[in-house]
Amino acid sequence: MITTGHWIGQYKYDKAIHQEMNGFERTNFEIEITKVDNNHFTGIVRDDLSTGGTEGIGEITGKISGNRIEFIKQMPVMTLLLDKDLPRKTLNKKHPKIYYRGTFSVDGLSIAGQWRFKIGLTWFGFIPVLLHPTKGTWTMSLKRKFKSR
């Protein structure tokens, strides 16, 4: 069972070319679980920009089933990694939904799993850009629980 609290983690891409385009070995993030209702939860997420993260404060919504967790990460802006030799581009539109799945450790204080986003299409000015399905791995651990009020 997940509780409200502050989690810290990291993610990386499965394909070396995507990781190289990102420019970092892994990207750090922080999640605050702000509400838990039975097996459903909501919260906010912040990627670490200094390790290749996406700008802005995103939202997460998810559910727990036994020792498994699933959630959707929705960032407020889209970051495009076009080529390893080109700088990343940030567009003023929502990033495609990112789907996370994972399994809790025995003590419930850490989680490891996979993330992915589906194929899509966006516009970069007048140029259509195909968003290839992308996936990777992630881990996170509980930094501190929020105190009950």
Tens digits of per-residue pLDDT, 49-61?
A: 999 899 999 999 9
Q: What is the mean pLDDT of the chain?
A: 86
Q: Is the pLDDT of residue 17 over 90?
A: no
Which pTM does this prediction carry? 0.86
Q: Is the pLDDT of residue 121 over 50?
A: yes
5-145 classified as CATH 3.40.50.300:
no
Q: What is the pLDDT of residue 45?
A: 98
- Tell me which amino acid residue 26 is: R
SS3 (DSSP) at 55: coil
Structure tokens given for 111: 């989680």
Q: Per DSSP, which regions of 38-119 are E strands?
A: 40-47, 57-65, 68-74, 78-80, 89-91, 98-104, 110-117
Q: What is the pLDDT of residue 123?
A: 65
Q: Is the pLDDT of residue 39 over 70?
A: yes
Closest CA to 73 of 99, 47, 40: 99
Q: Is the pLDDT of residue 77 over 80?
A: yes
Q: What is the pLDDT of residue 149?
A: 45
- Tell me which amino acid residue 129 is: V
Instruction: Break the chain into its structural domains and give their ranges.
Output: 5-145
- Kind and range of the H or E element at 9? strand 5-13
Reported confidence tier of residue 2, pLDDT bands at 50, 70, 90: confident
